[in-house]
Amino acid sequence: MSLSVNLPSLTIGTDAFDAIEEYCSQFGTTVAILGGEKALAASKEKLSAALEKTSLEVLTVQVYGKEASYTNVERMKAIKEVQDADMIFAVGGGRAIDTIKVVARDLDKPLFTIPTLASVSAPTSAVCVMYHDNHEMAGLAFRKAPADHTFIDTQIIAEAPYEYLWAGIGDCMSKEVETSFSSRGRDLSFENRLGVNVVKGTNDKLMEAGAKALEAVKNKEANAALEEVILEIIGASAYASVLVDNDINSNMAHAYYYGYTVLPQAHEHLHGEVVSYGILLLLTMDEQFEYRDRMKAFMESIKLPTKLADQGVTTQEEIDKLVDKAMTMDDLTFSPYEITREKFEQAIKDVEALA
C-alpha cells in the first residue's frame, strides 16, 4: 500500500502577502475570501493592496459566522460566488479557518489560509475541530491534506489581541507532551516517528521566547521572538499534526478541554488557555513531576491558568460534568496505559493541591 505525506507549506514575514501570486496563480484567477468579521477587517488593507498586484479577481468576501459548525459550512457552500471561485482564501483564527477548510474540502477547491491570530495550528493542519451551534464539541473533520499554502503576516498577528497569542502558546505546549505520551512504547511508522520528533524541543523554545513574543504583541511590533513562537504554533505543531495518526495527535490535555466545553463558562475562555491546564494534569498523572514544575513555573510567569478557579470551575458538580464528557473522548484511548476516571480525577486533585 502506498504512502502519501502532505506537509504544510507556508510563507512568513511582514511581507508574506507578496508571495500570493507565486503560489496561487497556478490554480486559476478567481477567489472567494471567507473569514471572521474582525479578521477580514484587520487584514483588509494589506491583503487588498497585495491582491491588486496579482492576476487574481475577488468574486466575494463573506463572514463565515461565529462558530466552527456544520451550519456555517453549509451556508458558505450555498453561496454561488463561493461555488464559482477557482480557489478559497480562509482568513482568521482557528474556528473560522477550520470551518472554511471543510467548505473547501466539500467543494473540492484549492485552499489558502491567512491567519490573523497565532492561537492554534489550524491554518496549516489537516484536521478541523467542529462544534455544535451551542458551542459544545461536535467532533473532528479531516482533509486529505493541509491548505495548499499559508501566508503568515507577522505584523497583522503582532497587532491582534494579546490573549490569542497567549492562548496559542498554551495550546502549542500540549503537542510535544501529548504526542510523546501517546506514542510511548510503540513501534512507530516513518511518518509517526517524524511527527513525534519534529516537536521535540518546541516547549524549550516556547519557554525561551514566549515572554518576548508576548511583549511584541503588547507593543504591536513584529520581532524575531514573535516569529519564532508563531513558527512553533503554526509550523512545528502543525507538521506534527499532519504527520502523526490522529490517535497520537492528542491525549489527556485535549480530553480535558473537550470536557470543559460542556460548561456554560467555556465560551469565556480560549482553547489553548484551557488545554494548558490539561497539560499539568497529564504530566502529574504520568509522574513527570520535574517537567510539570518547569511548565507550571513558565505558565505562571505568563499567567496561563494553573488552577480550576482560573477557568471559572468552582464546584464539584462542574468537575463531575467536565470529567463525564472528557472520559468519552477518543483522545484518551491511545495511551501507554489505561486512563481511568479515578486517575483523571486524582490528577485534578493533585494539581489543585500544588502550591
Domain coordinates in residue numbering, the chain: 10-158, 162-352
pLDDT of 125:
93
Residue type, 268: E
pLDDT in tens, 165-190: 999 999 999 999 999 999 999 999 99
Q: How many helices and strands in the chain, by DSSP H and E?
A: 17, 8
Residue 259 neighbours by CB distance under 10 Å: 24
pLDDT of 135:
85
Task: Tell me which CATH code domain 162-352 carries.
Answer: 1.20.1090.10
pLDDT of 28:
98
pLDDT of 137:
79
Say which residues have a Cβ less than 8 Å from residue 187's Cβ, sequence separation at least 6.
none
Report CA-CA distances (Å) from 105 to 82, 98, 110: 13, 11, 8
User: How many residues are listed for the chain in this entry?
Assistant: 355
**Nearest to residue 93, comparing CAs of 63, 121, 134?**
121
Q: What share of the chain is helix, strand, coil (3-state, %, to 5)?
A: 60, 10, 30
pLDDT of 229:
97
pLDDT of 136:
83
pLDDT of 120:
86
Q: Are 14 and 153 in contact (CB under 8 A)?
A: yes
Q: At what angle do helices 202-219 and 289-301 cross, to 10 degrees?
A: 10
> Residue 197 corresponds to which cell in the numbers above?
520528533
* Dist. CA 219–CA 91, nearest whole Å: 23
> Residue 268 corresponds to which cell in the numbers above?
469565556
pLDDT of 95:
94
Which residues in the chain land under pLDDT 50?
none
> Residue 292 corresponds to which cell in the numbers above?
510539570
Q: Are 258 and 266 in contact (CB under 8 A)?
A: no
Q: Are 213 and 189 in contact (CB under 8 A)?
A: no
Secondary structure (3-state) at 203? helix
Q: Are 25 and 91 in contact (CB under 8 A)?
A: no
> Residue 306 corresponds to which cell in the numbers above?
494553573
The 3-class secondary structure across 136-181, one letter per residue, is: CEEEEEECCCCCCEEEEEHHHHHCCCHHHHHHHHHHHHHHHHHHHH
pLDDT of 76:
98
**Nearest to residue 288, comparing CAs of 234, 248, 237, 251?**
251
For the 10-158 domain, the top CATH level (class) is alpha beta
Residue type, 55: S
pLDDT of 138:
86
- Which helix or strand (DSSP H or E) is residue 59 part of? strand 57-63
Percentage with pLDDT > 70 across the chain = 100
Sheet strands (E) in 198-312 = none
* Dist. CA 156–CA 162, nearest whole Å: 12
Q: What are phi and psi of 63, to 5 degrees?
A: -80, 125
Do the domains 10-158 and 162-352 sit in the same CATH topology, yes or no?
no
